[in-house]
Amino acid sequence: MGAHAEFVDLYADERAALVREIAAAGALKDPAWRAAFGAVPRHLFVPYWFRFGPGGSERLWGEDPDPQRRERWLRGVYADTALATRVRDGVLLSSSSQPSLMARMLDELEVREGHEVLEVGAGTGYNAALLSHRLGEEHVTSLDLDTEIVESARSHLARAGYAPVVLAGDGARGCPARAPFDRIVATCTVPSVPPEWLGQCRPGARILAPLSTGLIALRVRDGSYAEGRFLPTPAYFVPLRGGPAAPSPRYTGGLPRAALENDLFRFLLTLSASSLDPHEALALWHLEGRPRRERFGVTVSGVGQWAWLDDPAGPYTWPLG
């Protein structure tokens, strides 16, 4: 585990307040994760962030000479909110996720001492630092396609005193050189589950990844089969780069506005975009009593992968991706 530099406790009170807020939201049930969030200094991983408004984006920086702007930067860093950290030509490339969502994901990862973890999507390095604090940096591998993001994450981690393996590479291909893994966690949305991940997992491994607008938690049986359900939590992440694009829902004209604005229906609409006509999806949604995310699941096998409602054997199943 990393040895922290002397200055990381400058904002200990702010970190403690954030931990209390996350815990009040129902996360951090594991005391080890509560200790990690209390110890890892988020401000070292978000030296600047962007606020978007009608006039474009505004960059808030921790070393701004204006004390009021520095205070706004700090309030954002230790608020329970997602922060845009890398923008190019108006397009969001990377962000620091909402801490309470990160905490829920780490709780659901169900790690134990000695587990080897692959993180797909290095981001700022903050999540890798939390994993390193919990498991030891030697058990953590973080992967990102963008070499600039990789170098930035390494720099942030070094400032905080952690040195997990952070590599540049296509997250959809995993990291065979560091396999096998007991856990894979993605911090970017995937259009379907990359089959390469299964082959890099030990039997019984757990995969947690944003899919559609939810979080799928898969249990790996072997290198060609995994299955699991979605968590109740909604999740919105930047897409995985380098892999296939997520399919978009087909023509939605004529669908009721109330349905299109409903978060749960949009989840089903996105999950079934490559297979179901949107009007079929709406009919299914009403027929099944507007099912919540946790009633849906995904099966990955050597012959393909499919999403399902309630039961992987049907009657409601459709190809994924």
Give the residue numbers marked as catalytic: 94
With contact defined as beta carbons under 8 Å apart, do 44 and 156 qualify?
yes
DSSP string, 168-223: ES-GGG--GGG--EEEEEESSBBSS--HHHHHTEEEEEEEEEEETTEEEEEEEEET
Distance from C-alpha of 216 to C-alpha of 296, rounded to nearest angstrom:
9
The widest CA-to-CA distance across the chain, in whole angstroms, is: 62
With contact defined as beta carbons under 8 Å apart, do 171 and 122 qualify?
no
With contact defined as beta carbons under 8 Å apart, do 230 and 312 qualify?
no
Cα separations in angstroms, 190 against 54, 82, 100, 245: 30, 19, 21, 8
- With vertex at residue 108, the alpha carbon angle to CA 289 and CA 296, rounded to the nearest 5 degrees, is 25
